[in-house]
Amino acid sequence: SAALDLLGLMHYMNAMKLITVIETVTAKSDENVTVTDTEFNNVPVRLYLPRKAPDGLRRAMVYFHGGGWCLGDARMKSYDHMSRHVSNELSAVVVSVNYRLAPEHRFPVPFEDVYSVTKFFLQSSVLSQYGVDPARVCVAGDSAGGNLAAAVAQQLLEDPEVKTKLKAQILLYPALQPLDLDLPSYRDNDNKPLLPRSLMVRFWSEYFTSDPSLREAMASNKHVPAESGHLFQFVNWSHLLPAGMRKGHVYAGPTYGSAALARRYPGFLDPRAAPLLASDTQLRRLPPTYILTCEHDVLRDDGVMYVQRLRDAGVTVTHHHAQDAFHGALMFILWPFELAVGHRLFNSYVEWLNENL
């Protein structure tokens, strides 16, 4: 991808997307679940409907895939497998959203797509059409999808047109803030497989622009202007992380960057892109939350800080921290890339869903 980008033959992220294309599978129903590709509010979704006759109204999940807002697809083999498993095991309707991706569609387009689908699905007429209990609907997502799920859950609270309240939000190793990209987890996992720091910085910057000046500023962690310094209270890991995760790292406070850069690309200071920037007043109205974090993951501390902020706000949070796991572990549940840790984390997540949705 880097070579193609350097030669001017293909944008870096478009080259990376080739992996997504290889992994996509067609919508195929089985004896347990009917699977169809359709659209909700003009946004493509893959819809999973249980075949078994329900005892009453069904549960439902709106799911957002990961991939740094630049990659991924609801039709990928692993996402398809997880969605049909959740639909079958929980007798739940699953709406897996194929939101538009950067670099062609930057922030706030991916957020607007997933919000549009969620708002459409939460209409009483639509829930009734699919036999869904309005009191048992959740949003969920992994990585960048976890970011979108957290942002959607927050924004729904501010929307007077939405009457249905979410039962839960499920955030699987979510990316929740681009203000401080020098957290202990970024330092500890700088060059770990699947998501090294350099790639996460690239994902964050591409979400907002291909301007290399933002990427370079983010890489040196000097992109937040002094006038936005008050936002660092929401991502101050010196008190939001437990001592065991701070380890020998010393918090030095922010180094400020260009105000002009933030004016050109204000998205990275927007709570719709950085859910950790939401106020305590807003957080306390959120539904019960499940957060998965992995020790060997640059995004570990984002999730852990959100756990602490939600708990401080009085939200019920189940935090599953996997000491032996890495970013994207849930994708490794199918041959030939099958790992016991992937199955264990997926089973724990589905078990929580079964008990709490």
Per domain, the residue ranges of the chain are 1-356
Total count of residues recorded for the chain: 357
- Percentage of the chain exceeding pLDDT 90: 90
The pLDDT assigned to 2 comes to 59
pLDDT at 37: 98
What is the reported pLDDT for 302? 98
The pLDDT assigned to 17 comes to: 74
What proportion of the chain, given as a percentage, has pLDDT over 70? 96
Residue 4's pLDDT is what? 46
Task: Please report where in the chains the tokens 């078990």 appear, as a residue.
Answer: 351
Q: Quote the pLDDT of residue 21.
A: 78
Write the pLDDT tens digit of every residue in 201-220: 999 999 999 999 999 999 99
Tokens of 181: 């990209």
pLDDT for 41 beyond 50: yes
pLDDT digits (tens, 9 = 90+) for 72-120: 999 999 999 999 999 999 999 999 999 999 999 999 999 999 999 999 9
Residue at token pair 């549960």: 59
Mean pLDDT of the 263-278 span? 98
Q: What is the pLDDT of residue 3?
A: 54
- Mean local confidence (pLDDT), 245-260: 93
Say if CB 115 and CB 155 are below 8 A apart. Answer: yes
Q: State the average pLDDT over residues 313-335.
A: 96
Residue 326 has pLDDT above 60, yes or no: yes
Q: Tell me if residue 320 falls in helix, strand or coil.
A: strand
**pLDDT tens track for 150-204:** 999 999 999 999 999 999 999 999 999 999 999 999 999 999 888 999 999 999 9
> What pLDDT shows up at residue 304?
98
Instruction: Inform me whether the pLDDT recorded for 15 exceeds 60.
Output: yes
Q: Where are the alpha helices (DSSP H) in 230-317?
A: 237-240, 243-246, 259-264, 280-283, 300-312
What are the C-alpha distances in Å from 305 to residues 265, 299, 347? 25, 10, 24
Q: Which CATH number fits domain 1-356: 3.40.50.12280, 3.90.550.10, 3.20.20.70, 3.40.50.1820?
A: 3.40.50.1820
Active site residue 297: yes
Mean pLDDT, residues 312-333: 97
The catalytic residue among 65, 85, 223, 327 is 327
When pLDDT is averaged across residues 248-261 and rounded to a whole number, the result is: 94
Q: What is the mean pLDDT of residues 250-258?
A: 93
- Mean pLDDT over each residue of the chain, to the nearest integer: 95
With both helix axes pointing from N to C terminus, report the angle between 197-208 and 212-219 in degrees, rounded to the nearest 10.
140
CA 30 to chain centre: 28
Would you call 210 a catalytic residue per the annotation?
no
Could you give the 3-state DSSP secondary structure of residue 248? coil
Assess whether 327 carries a catalytic annotation: yes
Q: What is the mean pLDDT of residues 26-33?
A: 97
Residue bearing tokens 């697809």: 73
Average pLDDT rounded to a whole number, residues 217-231 = 97
pLDDT at 10: 53
- Candidates 113, 297, 301, 302; catalytic one: 297
Helix ranges, 103-222 (H): 109-121, 124-129, 144-156, 184-188, 197-208, 212-219
Q: Which of 91, 143, 185, 205 is catalytic?
A: 143
pLDDT at 193: 82
Q: Give residue 228's pLDDT.
A: 97
H or E element: which one contains 93?
A: strand 92-97
pLDDT of residue 7 exceeding 80: no
